[in-house]
Amino acid sequence: MNGRKIKFSLVYRDMWQSSGKYVPRVDQLVKVAPHIVDMGCFARVETNGGGFEQINLLFGENPNKSVREWTKPFNDAGIQTHMLERALNGIRMNPVPADVRKLMFKVKKLQGTDISRSFCGLNDPRNILDSVKYAKEGGMIAQAALSLTFSKVHTVESFVNLADELIKGGADEICLKDMAGIGRPAWLGKIVKGIKALHPEIPLEYHSHSGPGFSMASILEVCRAGVDYIDVAMEPLSWGTGHVDLLAVHAMLEDDGFDVPPINMDAYMKVRSLTQEFIDDFLGFYIDPKNRYMNSMLIGPGLPGGMMGSLMSDLENNLASLNKWMVKRNKPQLTQDDLLIKLFNEVEYIWPMLGYPPLVTPYSQYVKNLALMNVMQVEKGEKRWSMIADNIWDMLTGNGGRLPGKLDDEIIKLAKEAGKTFYTGNPQDLYPDALDTFRKEMNEKGWDFGKDDEELFELAMHPQEYRAYKSGAAKKAFEEDVAKRRLEGGGINVGTAPVATAPAASGNGASGNGASGNGASDVSELKPTTMFVDVDGERFKVSVSYGDFVAEGNSVPKAATVAAPVASQGPVKEILAPLEGKFYLTKESSETPLKVGDSIKVGDLIGYVEAMKTFNAIRSDVSGVVVEICSTPGAEIEEDDVMVKIK
Nearest to 137, CA basis, from 112, 189, 102, 95: 102
Decide if pLDDT at 584 tops 80.
yes
Q: Does residue 566 form part of some domain?
A: no
Domain span at residue 370? Answer: 302-428
What pLDDT score does 312 carry? 60
Is residue 593 predicted with pLDDT exceeding 90?
A: no
Q: Is residue 546 part of a domain?
A: no
The residues near 530 (Cβ < 8 Å, ≥ 6 apart) are: 541, 542, 543, 544, 634
Identify whether 337 is part of a domain: yes
User: pLDDT class for 642, splitting at 50, 70, 90?
Assistant: confident
pLDDT tens track for 426-445: 999 999 999 999 999 999 99
**Is residue 531, in this structure, part of any structural domain at all?**
no
464 and 375 part of one domain? no
Answer whether residue 510 shows pLDDT above 80. Answer: no
Higher pLDDT, 579 or 273: 273
The one-letter amino acid code at 7 reads: K
Q: Which of 462, 491, 525 corresponds to the end of one domain?
A: 525
Q: Of 363, 397, 428, which residue sits at a domain end?
A: 428
Percent of the chain whose pLDDT exceeds 90: 53
Query: Distance from first CA to last CA of the chain, Å, rounded?
Result: 77
Q: Looking at the predicted structure, is the pLDDT value of residue 199 above 90?
A: yes
Reported as type and span, the H/E element at residue 436 is helix 435-445
Given this model, what pLDDT does residue 524 score? 32
DSSP reduced 3-state for 399: coil
Question: Residue 256: pLDDT above 50?
Answer: yes
Q: Which amino acid is at 330?
A: N
For the ranges 159-168, 349-358, 462-471, 618-627, the maximum mean pLDDT occurs at 159-168
What per-residue confidence (pLDDT) applies to 187?
97
- Which sign does the torsion angle of CA 167, 433, 429, 615 carry? positive
Does 55 share its domain with 88?
Answer: yes
Residue 499 has pLDDT above 70, yes or no: no
Q: Which of 259-273, 287-301, 501-515, 539-553 has the lowest mean pLDDT?
A: 501-515
153-168 average pLDDT score: 97
- Position 180 confidence tier, pLDDT thresholds 50, 70, 90: confident
In this prediction, residue 505 carries a pLDDT of: 33
Are residues 492 and 509 both part of a single domain? yes
| Per-residue pLDDT at 464 exceeds 60 | yes
User: Which CATH number goes with the domain that contains 351?
Assistant: 1.10.472
Backbone phi and psi for residue 553, each to the nearest 5 degrees, phi listed first: 80, -120
Neighbours of 79 (CB within 10 A): 21
In a domain, 540, yes or no: no
Pairing relation of β-strands 599-600 and 581-584? Answer: unpaired
CA dihedral 33, 36, 38, 41 (to 10 degrees): -150
Tell me how crowded residue 567 is: count the other CB atoms within 10 A of its CB.
6
Q: Answer yes or no: are the C-beta atoms of 312 and 288 closer than 8 Å.
A: yes
Least confident span in 46-55, 111-120, 146-155, 357-366: 357-366
Both 39 and 175 in a single domain? yes
Pick from 11-15, 258-262, 417-421, 564-568 the range whose average pLDDT is largest. Answer: 258-262
Higher-pLDDT residue of 329 and 550 is 329
Q: Are residues 56 and 202 in the same domain?
A: yes
Q: Is the bond leading into 565 cis (omega within 30 degrees of zero)?
A: no
Number of domains observed in the structure of the chain: 3
Domain boundary among 428, 447, 477: 428
Within-domain flag for 215: yes
Is 374 a member of any domain? yes
Mean pLDDT to the nearest integer, 18-25? 88
* Distance set, CA 415 to CA 188, 342, 350, 386, 409 (Å): 35, 25, 15, 12, 10
Q: Are residues 392 and 521 in the same domain?
A: no
The answer on 355 and 206 residing in a single domain is no
Do 459 and 391 lie in a common domain? no
The radius of gyration computed from the CA coordinates of the chain, to the nearest angstrom, equals 24
pLDDT at 560 over 50: no
Q: Which residues of 507-518 are buried (b: 16+ CB within 10 A; e: fewer)?
A: bebbbbbbbeeb
Work out the pLDDT band at 633, boundaries 50, 70, 90. Answer: confident
- Phi, psi dihedral angles at 49 (to 5 degrees): 105, 180
What's the pLDDT at 511? 33
CB 391 within 8 A of CB 366: yes
Is residue 556 situated within a structural domain? no
Please check the confidence at residue 504 and state whether its pLDDT lies above 90: no
**Same domain (yes/no): 377, 495:** no
How much is the pLDDT for 638? 78
**Which of 501-505, 532-536, 569-573 shows the lowest per-residue confidence on average (mean pLDDT)?**
501-505
Nearest 10 degrees: CA dihedral of 427, 430, 436, 441?
A: -110
pLDDT score at 320: 78
Q: Specify the pLDDT at position 540.
A: 54
Reply yes or no on whether the pLDDT at 420 is more than 60.
yes
Residue 503 pLDDT > 70: no
Residue 634 — pLDDT band, cuts 50, 70, 90?
confident
Write down the pLDDT at residue 139: 98
In CATH, what number is assigned to the domain containing residue 163?
A: 3.20.20.70
Closest CA to 462 of 21, 17, 54, 13: 54
Q: What is the pLDDT of residue 588?
A: 65
- CATH number of domain containing 589: 2.40.50.100
Which has more confidence, 97 or 55?
97
Residue 339 confidence (pLDDT): 80
Identify whether residues 136 and 239 lie together within a single domain: yes
Asked whether residue 79 falls in the same domain as residue 179, the answer is yes
Report pLDDT for 517: 34
Q: Beta-carbon neighbour count of residue 338 at 10 Å?
A: 14
Q: Is pLDDT above 80 for 301?
A: no
SS3 232: strand
Q: Kindly report which listed range (214-223, 272-281, 605-614) carries the lowest average pLDDT score.
A: 605-614
Stretch 33-51: mean pLDDT, rounded?
96
**Residue 81 and residue 175 in one domain:** yes
If we measure between CA atoms, which residue out of 362, 399, 403 comes closest to residue 158?
403
Q: How far apart are CA 205 and CA 226, in angstroms?
A: 10
Q: What is the mean pLDDT of the chain?
A: 84
Using alpha carbons, select from 552, 531, 562 the residue that is nearest to residue 644: 562
User: Which residues are 9's β-sheet partners?
Assistant: 44, 231
